[in-house]
Amino acid sequence: MSVSSALNAFKSSALISWKSLGKLQQTIAGCIERSGITLHSGRVARVKIWPECAGVGRYFDFRSNFIHPSVDYVQESPLCTTLCKDGYKVRTVEHLLSALEAMGVDNCRIEVEGLNGEESSVEVPIFDGSAKEWVEAIEQVGLKVATDQGGNSCEKMIPFLIEPVHVHRNDSFIAAFPYPKVQIIYGIDFPQVPAIGCQWFSSASLDDSFYTSEIGPSRTFCVYEEVEKLRNLGLIKGGSTDSAIVCSASKGWLNPPLRFPDEPCRHKVLDLIGDLSLFARHGSQGFPVAQIVGYKGGHALHADFVRRLSGIS
């Protein structure tokens, strides 16, 4: 990447002003390797995460095809975030990206390999449905300052929202307002499933200790009565009560205990962080500094929001 293209990448837009707060870009201090069952295909996949130079950012390496997690490569798919480039697909990237973004792994190569010989599609393992496995792996290996090819450290650019912005689909919305720090407020409403009901969660900051204790461990959830429909669509083949919290409309939670009373809503925040990390480039922060209010959103709406920030829509 030339110096001029690097500077062009951080030109401020009508909505975003990129600032440096003196933080240096980081990478992991060693290699991470984890394998597990994947949620949708039900197959086993292995992920190896390698340290990478400053300025490179995070990217997937699937059969030597490099896919930078960017909204340009998001393919709309139900229930997960899928990246697709040149016919090669990496699915269910959001929980891993959430942990990397929140914990400050700004640069890394994420090698993903299907162990059942998939040709053009692979999926990141689901583990317990949260980001806990990734949080613990990053904590175990530790972080270090990333340097570029010349051995120099690089400042981490931070996107500050400078104008209010909102996107919506039906009654779901994300609205964001300029604010001096990251604040996330998220609501969900499941009137037909009383044990979930209407919940709001507010995160006062996005520092990594708050993330690791309050957001990262929250698991994905599903409604028992909808599981059969999803299976008939060829989804969640690897889903089980070990990889999600399952709630029945009539019987309540089927695999308690919950880790938090509002665990479903916290998981939406986890997903939002993963999906908004798609705004990161060249080792910058992806999540915009703003007050963000989300309501009944999902991965497609989160991607719409990133497109708005990017000036694509």
Q: Name the residues that contact Zn ion, by CB under 5 A.
A: 220, 271
User: For residues 60 and 160, which CB has a smaller minimum distance to Zn ion in the complex?
Assistant: 60
Q: How far is the CB of 269 from Zn ion (least distance, A)?
A: 10
Question: C-alpha angle 173/176/178, rounded to 5°?
Answer: 170
CB of 274 to Zn ion, least distance (A): 7
| Closest separation in Å from C-beta 302 to Zn ion | 10
Structure tokens at 217: 């461990």
Decide whether 41 or 220 has the Cβ nearer to Zn ion: 220
Tell me, what amino acid is at 311? G
The encoded tokens of residue 13 equal 């837009």
Tell me the closest approach of the beta carbon of residue 183 to Zn ion, in angstroms. 21
Residue (267 or 282) nearer to Zn ion, CB? 267
The residue among 99 and 309 lying less far from Zn ion, judged by its C-beta, is 99
CB nearer Zn ion, residue 52 or residue 101: 101
Establish how many alpha carbons lie within 13 A of residue 275's alpha carbon, considering only the half-sphere containing its beta carbon: 27
Minimum CB–partner distance for residue 21 and Zn ion (Å):
29
Our CB check for Zn ion shows the closer of 15 and 39 to be 39
Nearest to Zn ion of 123, 271 (CB atom): 271
The b-or-e profile of 153-180 (16+ CB within 10 A means b, else e) is: ebebbbbbbbeebebeeeebbbbbebee
**What is the nearest approach in angstroms of Zn ion to the Cβ of residue 187?**
16
Q: Give me the least distance between CB of 267 and Zn ion, in Å please.
A: 6
Rg of the chain in Å (alpha carbons): 19
Who contacts 79 (Cβ-Cβ below 8 Å, separation ≥6)? Answer: 39, 40, 230, 235, 236, 298, 299
